[in-house]
Amino acid sequence: MNQSEQSAVSRRGFLRAVGVSGGAGAMLATMGALGLAPTAASAAPPFQAPTHSDFNLTGRRRARVVVLGGGVAGLAVAYELGKAGYDCTVLEARSRAGGRNLTIRGGDVETDLDGHTQRARFSDGGYLNAGPARIAQWMVTMDYCRELGVPVEVFTNANADAWIYNESAGMTAPVRYRTAKADVYGYVSELLAKATDQGALDDRLSADDKQRLLSFLQSYGAIGGRTSGWAYTGTSRRGFASYPGAGNDGGSLLGAPPPLADVFASNVGRYFSFELGYDQAMLMFQPVGGMDQIPRALARAIGKHRITLGAEVTGVTDRGGQVEVTYRHGGRERMVRADYCVATLPPHLMARVPHNLGADVTAALGSFPATASGKIGLEYRSRWWELDQRIYGGITETDLDVSHIWYPSYGFHGRRGVIVGYYNTGANARAYSALTPAQRQERAVMQGVKIHGEKYRSELVTAYSHAWDRTRYLEGAWTSPPHGSAGYDLLLRPAGRVYFAGDWLSHEVAWQHGSFVSARAVVTALHQRVMAS
Q: Which does 11 bind (CB under 5 to 8 A by kind): ligand FAD, ligand PHE, none?
A: ligand PHE
Distance CA 373, CA 396 (A): 18
* Contact assessment for residue 299 and residue 307, using Cβ atoms and an 8 Å cutoff: yes
Of the candidate residues 13, 50, 70, 417, the single one contacting ligand FAD (CB under 6 A): 70
Nearest to 491 by CA among 480, 500, 481, 503: 500
Q: Please write down the HEC assignment for all residues of 95-142.
A: CCCECCCCEEECCCEEECCCCCEEECCCCCCCEEECCCCCECCCCHHH
Residue facing ligand PHE at closest CB distance: 510
Distance CA 197, CA 219 (A): 16
Which residues pair with residue 164 across a beta bridge? 175, 397
Nearest to 350 by CA among 501, 522, 519: 501
Q: Which positions from 451 through 480 interact with ligand FAD, judged by CB under 6 A?
A: 468, 473-474, 477-478
Of the candidate residues 33, 73, 81, 372, the single one contacting ligand FAD (CB under 6 A): 73
* Contact assessment for residue 162 and residue 239, using Cβ atoms and an 8 Å cutoff: no
Cβ count within 10 A of residue 12: 13
Q: Which does 344 bind (CB under 5 to 8 A by kind): ligand PHE, ligand FAD, none?
A: ligand FAD
Q: Which does 18 bind (CB under 5 to 8 A by kind): ligand PHE, ligand FAD, none?
A: none
Choose the binding region for ligand FAD from 9-17, 96-104, 185-193, 235-243 (rule: CB under 6 A). 96-104
Distance CA 74, CA 115 (A): 27
Task: Please report whether residue 47 would count as binding ligand FAD according to CB under 6 A.
Answer: no
Which residues pair with residue 374 across a beta bridge? 424, 467
Q: Which does 279 bind (CB under 5 to 8 A by kind): ligand FAD, ligand PHE, none?
A: ligand PHE
Q: Considering beta carbons, is residue 223 or 517 the nearer one to ligand PHE?
A: 517
* Contact assessment for residue 67 and residue 291, using Cβ atoms and an 8 Å cutoff: no
Q: Which does 514 bind (CB under 5 to 8 A by kind): ligand PHE, ligand FAD, none?
A: ligand FAD
Q: How far is CA 90 from CA 338, 483, 495, in A?
A: 12, 28, 19
Q: Considering beta carbons, is residue 90 or 395 the nearer one to ligand PHE?
A: 395
Of the candidate residues 77, 150, 510, 526, the single one contacting ligand FAD (CB under 6 A): 510
CB of 257 to ligand PHE, least distance (A): 30
Look at strands 394-398 and 103-105 and give their pairing.
unpaired
Q: How far is CA 105 from CA 60, 102, 418, in A?
A: 45, 10, 10
* Contact assessment for residue 318 and residue 326, using Cβ atoms and an 8 Å cutoff: no
Task: Please report whether residue 140 would count as binding ligand FAD according to CB under 6 A.
Answer: no
Binding to ligand FAD by CB under 6 A, coded x per residue (else -) over 320-359, reads: ------------------------xxx--x----------
429-119-308 Cα angle (round to 5): 90
Q: Which does 287 bind (CB under 5 to 8 A by kind): ligand PHE, ligand FAD, none?
A: none
Q: Which does 399 bind (CB under 5 to 8 A by kind): ligand PHE, ligand FAD, none?
A: none
* Contact assessment for residue 343 and residue 69, using Cβ atoms and an 8 Å cutoff: yes
Q: Which does 70 bind (CB under 5 to 8 A by kind): ligand FAD, ligand PHE, none?
A: ligand FAD
Q: Which does 418 bind (CB under 5 to 8 A by kind): ligand FAD, ligand PHE, none?
A: none
Residues that bind ligand PHE (CB under 6 A): 11, 14-15, 134, 279, 510-511
Task: Please report whether residue 503 would count as binding ligand FAD according to CB under 6 A.
Answer: yes
CB of 510 to ligand PHE, least distance (A): 4
Look at strands 404-407 and 394-398 and give their pairing.
antiparallel
Amino acid residing at 192: L
CB of 505 to ligand FAD, least distance (A): 9
14-163-238 Cα angle (round to 5): 115
Task: Please report whether residue 269 would count as binding ligand FAD according to CB under 6 A.
Answer: no
Choose the binding region for ligand FAD from 15-23, 81-89, 296-304, 508-516 (rule: CB under 6 A). 508-516
Q: Which residues lie near ligand FAD (CB under 6 A)? A: 68-74, 91-94, 99-101, 131-135, 141, 311-313, 344-346, 349, 373, 468, 473-474, 477-478, 502-503, 510-515
